[in-house]
Amino acid sequence: MDRHRSEPSSAEGERAAPFTGPLVLRRVAATFEIVSRGARVTPAPAQKQKTEYLETHQSRKWPLTRKEVKEELAAGETVGSFESATEADRRVSQTSPRLGTGVLVKGEEATTTAGRGAGSHRPLMLTKFRMIPTVDLARSSRREVAAILSQCCTDVGFLYLTGHSVPRSLLDDVLAQSKRLFDLPPHRKAALSDPVLNRGFTRLGEETLDPANQTRGDTKEGYYIGDEVSGEGADAAKLRGPNVWPDPADLPEFRSVMERYKEEAGRICRELVRCFALAVSDDEFTFDRHFDPASSFLRLLHYSAEPSDVDAGVYGCGAHSDYGMITLLLTDDNPGLQVLKGEEWVDVHPREGAFVVNIGDMFERWTNGKFVSGRHRVVIPREGTRERYSAPFFFDPDFDAIVEVLESCCDDERPARFPPISSGQYLLDKYRATHADFDEHTEGRREVGG
Ligand SMILES: O=C(O)CCC(=O)C(=O)O
Ligand SMILES: [Fe+2]
């Protein structure tokens, strides 16, 4: 009998029994450690020791019986943690390699947050398809991170990243400096732009990320900071050159904060690239040569307080997938980001101290679609609407890198789905399709530069 196909009705009795064995208690404790919230490392009182496995992984048929869960847990190592995407749904969870991605929930918390009375042990299917996994860099080895990534990035390609060691003060400074920049008078911001190199200010509505479904440009303004390249390395046709910086008299700390942050973000992304390499090959250096040098853009974003109107085609940021390898996203505590999971748009709520990481198109192509470049958008909610600030960091291969499906990701049954492309050309084509002011300037400079 396929044990993952047990019907809920037949398993009800067994699931209702609380888990009180030492194994489960230890894992409950470990779970609390993983998210380090509440620092509750001792077993909770008896009535809170009930645990339940919830459905989260598309390839598994849930729920399992108590015995099956216990067997699986006994066989697997805890390698990471999962947390639900919604604030109300938030709960502690864990992953084990044999289970795929699963969620181990303390009975009382799980039932309460799902709106059921404590003591109910019915499977909480509400959490299905609502999980954005968490990867903790500080607690896991590269191989362990790779194991989690290969389980969770095949679905929506989004995760929370903790344990990244970027000081909270630096993250706060980035958002504070960004606010000060966007607070400058419009004519001063407009002057801070180099549309040829795709640097500096982009006006409200300039970008339309989903032209097919938007009636207006995105309700956001932005500011691009690229890799500072001068001298021989500069090449306008390849978007390589100096950045545009605000006058230090206006914003004396802006440049140093952004440069420090960009350095940190690059460090994290390099680490993730190695983990991703291990997720799809035996060699952690598989991608290294394509990122020597990498091409990266830090983009500051400021969403206006105008609520989005999905029916009228008005979005903070239209639906799109990111173009490059990895995006590391820092946001303030305002909601708005959503990711498409199947047919459903799922909220990716801001989480204190955690980055949101998502996979871009290049990586999807390299892995022949195994890892998903998730479609996402920003919908500014009507209730309690405030201006929102975010800062995506796009980490991409070198402009000249050729992105070609990895051999390890195809075979006779899965032939290569994507032809090789030049990373830089792909980016330019995307920018041209989505930025109103991009085309003419870039083309002009190309002619001059030959
Ligand atoms: O602001 C956000 O939360 C997301 C922005 C985004 O997806 C992008 O700029 O590509
Ligand atoms: Fe994006």
User: What is the predicted ipTM?
Assistant: 0.99
> Is 322 a pocket residue for ligand 1 (Cβ < 6 Å)?
yes
* 117/235 same-domain check: no
SS (H, E, C) the chain: CCHHHCCHHHHHHHHHCCCCCHHHHHHHHHHHHHHCCCCCCCCCCHHHCCEEEECCCCCCCCCCCHHHHHHHHHHCCCCEEEEECCCCCCCCCCEECCCEECEEEEHHHHHHHCCCCCCCCCCCHHHCCCEEEEEECCCCCHHHHHHHHHHHCCCCCEEEEECCCCCHHHHHHHHHHHHHHHCCCHHHHHHCEECCCCEEEECCCCECCCCCCCCCCCCEEEEEECCECCHHHCEHHHCEECCCCCCCCCCCCHHHHHHHHHHHHHHHHHHHHHHHHHHHCCCCCCCHHHHCCCEEEEEEEEECCCCCECCCCECCEEEECCCCCEEEEEECCCCCEEEEECCEEEECCCCCCCEEEEECHHHHHHCCCCCCCCCEEECCCCCCCCCEEEEEEEEECCCCCEECCCHHHCCCCCCCCCCCEEHHHHHHHHHHHHECCHHHHHHHHHHHHC
Domain that holds residue 385: 168-449
Q: Lowest mean pLDDT: which of 28-32, 179-183, 329-333?
A: 28-32
77 occurs within a structural domain:
yes
Number of domains in the chain: 2
Per-residue pLDDT, averaged over 206-229, amounts to 95
Residue 135 lies in a domain: no
Q: Examine the domain organization and report whether 276 and 370 are in the same domain.
A: yes
pLDDT at res. 64: 43
Indicate the pTM of the whole model.
0.73
Note whether residue 146 is domain-resident: no
With a 6 Å cutoff on the Cβ, whether 378 touches ligand 1 is: yes
Whole-number percent of the chain with pLDDT over 70: 68
Both 323 and 216 in one domain: the answer is yes
- Residue 441 sits in a domain whose CATH number is 2.60.120.330
**Mean pLDDT, rounded, for 366-387:** 92
Specify the higher pLDDT residue, 194 or 17: 194
What token pair was written down for 147?
């194991």
Q: Whose CA is nearest to atom 5 of ligand 1?
A: 392
For the cut 60, the answer to whether the pLDDT of residue 243 exceeds it is yes
Q: What is the pLDDT of residue 416?
A: 96
- Do 106 and 218 belong to one domain? no
Q: Which atom of ligand 1 is nearest to the CA of 299?
A: 9
- Give yes or no for residue 317 CB within 6 A of ligand 1: yes
Residues 281, 423: one domain?
Answer: yes
Ligand 1 atom with the smallest distance to the CA of 220 is 1
Q: Whose CA is nearest to atom 8 of ligand 1?
A: 392
At residue 140 the predicted structure's pLDDT band, cuts being 50, 70 and 90, is: confident
* Residue 345 and residue 230 share a domain: yes
Q: Are residues 339 and 419 in the same domain?
A: yes
Distance 355 CA to ligand 1 centre (A): 12
Lowest mean pLDDT among 44-48, 411-415, 434-438: 44-48
Q: Do 224 and 119 fall into the same domain?
A: no
- Average predicted confidence (pLDDT) for the chain: 74
Q: Which of 67-76, 109-118, 373-382 reaches the highest mean pLDDT?
A: 373-382
Do 203 and 122 share a structural domain? no
| pLDDT confidence of residue 240 | 92
Q: Would you say the CB of residue 375 lies under 6 angstroms from ligand 1?
A: no
Atom of ligand 1 nearest to the CA of 222: 9
Nearest bound ligand to CA 391? Answer: 1
Whether residue 163 is contained in a domain is answered as: no
Q: Is the CB of 331 under 6 A from ligand 1?
A: yes
- pLDDT, one tens digit per residue, over 47-85 is 232 233 333 332 233 344 445 444 544 543 332 333 332
CA of 288 to the centre of ligand 2 (A): 23
Ligand nearest the Cα atom of residue 320: 2
